[in-house]
Structure 1
């Protein structure tokens, strides 16, 4: 694969256009632009990051509407996701307006949330504020009140209110996207978050596996 040299200006133009006209008709006429200007550079970026961060899943252009029937048929962004050994996500997303990275867990499942709160309350939580210093913490999923079982304030109550923990960076789109700077920005932001990832891997870990429903046994043939 060719090295990453940046996204052409048509990349963000296409994402803005598909956001305005998210139809099969538009895609039929312009889908080739996505492959050349959006998906191709994203795959090149992922290939350059993989030696350091492991396999990166590049997002498909189409939404899976099986579980989100109300979602538009085509993504209005592009991106990739790597995983730490403990299941933390390292993501990069290019939209029509910004290049954004996010590292951590957007939302804990029940087991992760329990382990996270125990860690924050106990000795491991004492180091977390220092690890997060200098980072922007995504507070989009956060309790307004106190977590269940808390009747007073705790020195780390802001962390205890979080329902997920990830640190984010974002920069508006511009001519810099057509250079190798996006690669360096993603690499730098993922590296800077490594101590946070290590803490999450050690004290929170991966999501619990989703139980699979057993297939029903076939009915015995009816007697004639």
Structure 2
């Protein structure tokens, strides 16, 4: 297979500026006038970055810039960020994004069927498995990752409110994300090493999920 050259790796501050402008004018006329900037500043660097990481982590899905507005009250046509996702199992994997605030890097599981949510909560309920996840999340948040994800407001049905790991049981989805802003190295080939380092650090989280949720 012939390797495709997507150009240099690295996002300049101009990529963040592009999204700031798009947030202020999310219209077809703006997009048409600035599509070349999107391709040059955003899409091509993202393709180059994910290609550089593919040998170690796998092929990435680089998301389309267009929003699906069919069932949304928000009819703005374009996404105000560019994301890429490397799956390790369904709706689970590594993530990288550029938007108006800069770069973010993370991993986790982003969607869950009722069966997978039940398996996750059963694993959290288990003393050994749940404690392993708590310790893992503690190390990663201490290293600068922020815990996120969709959660139920009180407690999941069937689980006691006084469970020792009730905060984890509340999660329907779970992510760990690090926000970088726009550091100088973001615009250099060293970007791929930074993202790879974060993804390696997050690999034990995905491995825990693979073992206990599938």
What TM-score range do you get, normalising by the shorter chain?
0.7 to 0.9
The whole-number CA distance in structure 2 between the counterparts of 1:64 and 1:106 is: 18
- TM-score (norm: length of structure 1): 0.83
**Unaligned runs of at least 5 residues, structure 1:** 206-224
Equivalent residue in structure 1 for 2:157, among 137, 148, 152: 148
Pair 1:190-2:206 in alignment: no
Look at both structures and tell me which one has the larger radius of gyration over its CA atoms. 1
Which residue of structure 2 lines up, in the alignment, with residue 201 of structure 1?
A: 210
Answer 1 or 2: which has greater helix percent.
2
Of 51-60 and 172-181, more deviation after overlay is shown by 172-181
Task: State whether residues 3 and 48 of structure 1, in contact with CA within 8 Å, keep that contact through their aligned partners in structure 2.
Answer: no
The whole-number CA distance in structure 1 between the counterparts of 2:125 and 2:39 is: 48
- TM-score (norm: length of structure 2): 0.87
Equivalent residue in structure 1 for 2:98, among 85, 94, 100: 94
The whole-number CA distance in structure 1 between the counterparts of 2:90 and 2:117 is: 14
The whole-number CA distance in structure 1 between the counterparts of 2:206 and 2:90 is: 8
The whole-number CA distance in structure 1 between the counterparts of 2:191 and 2:162 is: 41
2:116 counterpart SS class? helix
Aligned CA RMSD, in angstroms, stands at: 2.0
1:55 counterpart SS class? coil
**Unaligned runs of at least 5 residues, structure 2:** none
Task: State whether residues 66 and 79 of structure 2, in contact with CA within 8 Å, keep that contact through their aligned partners in structure 1.
Answer: yes
The whole-number CA distance in structure 1 between the counterparts of 2:31 and 2:115 is: 41
Aligned-residue offset at 1:10: 2.2
2:86 counterpart SS class? strand
